[in-house]
A = this chain, B = another copy of it.
Amino acid sequence: MSQASEFHNLHAPTGGIERELAPGLHAHIFAGEGAMLSVVTIEPNAAGTLHSHPEEQWGVLLEGSAIRVQGEEEIPVRQGDFWRTPGGVPHTMRAGPEGCRVLDIFAPPRPEYRVPGKGFGG
């Protein structure tokens, strides 16, 4: 089988599973076997709700700025920052005034995100 179907683009993440995580937080989700990638756009000043899940998560700030809430800390992040969120640690994001785009990586994939829907699952 051609490998071409495995190639996508962050700026036009077509072909993923769309999910509204919260008002102003929109995700395009691509599931593999070992990991799941989610390209998330957060509107200016929008914020998710604190949640956790057993799967490890990594995040990469692609554009803009935000506050990463993780554990009991609030850590400002800017373009190029990346971080690991161990499984079970409560977390969320709050976008800065210009909004932001984030690449989230779940390993293993989150079963809740394999189907279209709303919310953070769990």
Identify the A interface with B (CB < 8 A): 2-4, 6-11, 30, 32-35, 37, 55-56, 58, 60, 68, 70-71, 73, 75, 77, 80-87, 89, 103, 105-108
In the complex this chain forms, how many copies of it are found? 2
29 contacts between A and B (CB under 8 A): A2-B73, A3-B83, A3-B89, A4-B75, A6-B70, A6-B84, A6-B85, A6-B86, A7-B75, A7-B77, A7-B82, A8-B81, A9-B80, A9-B81, A10-B80, A10-B81, A10-B82, A30-B84, A32-B56, A32-B84, A32-B107, A34-B56, A34-B87, A34-B108, A35-B35, A35-B105, A37-B105, A60-B103, A105-B107
